[in-house]
Amino acid sequence: AQTVTQSQPEMSVQEAETVTLSCTYDTSESNYYLFWYKQPPSRQMILVIRQEAYKQQNATENRFSVNFQKAAKSFSLKISDSQLGDTAMYFCAFWPYGGSQGNLIFGKGTKLSVKP
C-alpha cells in the first residue's frame, strides 16, 4: 500500500524563526506529485506548495520551500520567518502516477504552533 507518514504530530516555533516539517512516503512508482496543505483553525484546507517528482529543483513559494529527496522518499517543508498566521495543521499529500482520478493520499498531519 502507498502511504504518507508525518512523524511529528506536533511542533512549535518562535515567531520569526525557521521550522521544518517532515514527510516520508512509500511507493514503487517513479512518477508522482507531492503537496503540502495547510489547515488553519478555520478548517479550510489551503494549498501551500506542489512538487512534481520528475523535477529535481525544489519548489518554493515565498517563505515556504521544500527539500525533496527522491531516493530517500522524503518531502520536508521549511517555513522561514515564521508568522503567527502560520499556526495550523500541515498535511503532506502524495498522488502517484497511474492512480485514479481521486487518488490523493494524505498523511495524518503535523500541528504547528507559532509562539510570539
Tell me which residues touch another protein (CB under 8 A).
Answer: 4, 32-33, 35, 37, 42-47, 50, 52, 91, 93, 95, 97-104, 106-109
- Is the Cβ of residue 50 or residue 70 nearer to another protein in the bound state? 50
Q: What share of the chain is helix, strand, coil (3-state, %, to 5)?
A: 5, 50, 45
Residue among 87 and 106 whose Cβ is closer to another protein: 106
Residues 26 and 112: their CA atoms lie apart, in Å, by 24
| Closest CB 4 distance from another protein, rounded Å | 8
How far apart are CB 47 and another protein at their closest, in Å? Answer: 6
Q: Are 37 and 45 in contact (CB under 8 A)?
A: yes
| Cα–Cα dist 12/2, whole Å | 29
- CB closer to another protein, 46 vs 84: 46
